[in-house]
Amino acid sequence: MRRSYKWTYLYAAVDPTTGESFCVYLPGMDDGCLQIFLAELSKSYPNHHLLIVLDGAPSHRSEKITHPENISLLMLPPYSPELDPAERWFQEFRRKLSNRTFETVALLQEALTQTLEPYWKNPALLKRLTGYSWWVEAVEAL
């Protein structure tokens, strides 16, 4: 029996100072999907200027990406996931969902959504997880 795989990707933005988050499932990890994510994020927060921190993933470095006017991008130094608040959140997903298989992408998204829901219902959980003291102090100093 030949196995085939399908993928889904969770794009997420987290505000470490409040615990608020914005998440979208997209079919790929490429510059086109990142462009869609940024557009959706921009539409959801039209009256805010957002600073999005990106790691060194190839899709994040693409010169094809144009970001909405209310979004600025900040690239992290190479090999520094510990500086990305969202990575702490992703570690939680991995703990809960690793070594499991799902028959469909929809079932995987359902399991992931169940993992996300406690953080959406209680943003203080996400704030505690991602609110590095140096990050919060820097934002509050602005």
Instruction: Read off the pLDDT of residues 44-95 as tens digits, 9 standing for 90 and up.
Output: 999 999 999 888 777 788 788 888 999 999 888 888 888 888 889 999 888 9
What is the spatial distance between Cα 68 and Cα 50, in angstroms, rounded to a whole number? 10
Amino acid in position 50: L
pTM: 0.89
- Report in angstroms the alpha-carbon separations of 133 from 16, 139, 140: 10, 10, 10
Residue ranges and CATH numbers for the domains of the chain are 9-123 (3.30.420.10)
Q: In this predicted model, what pLDDT tens digit does every residue of 94-109 receive, in sequence order?
A: 898 999 989 999 999 9
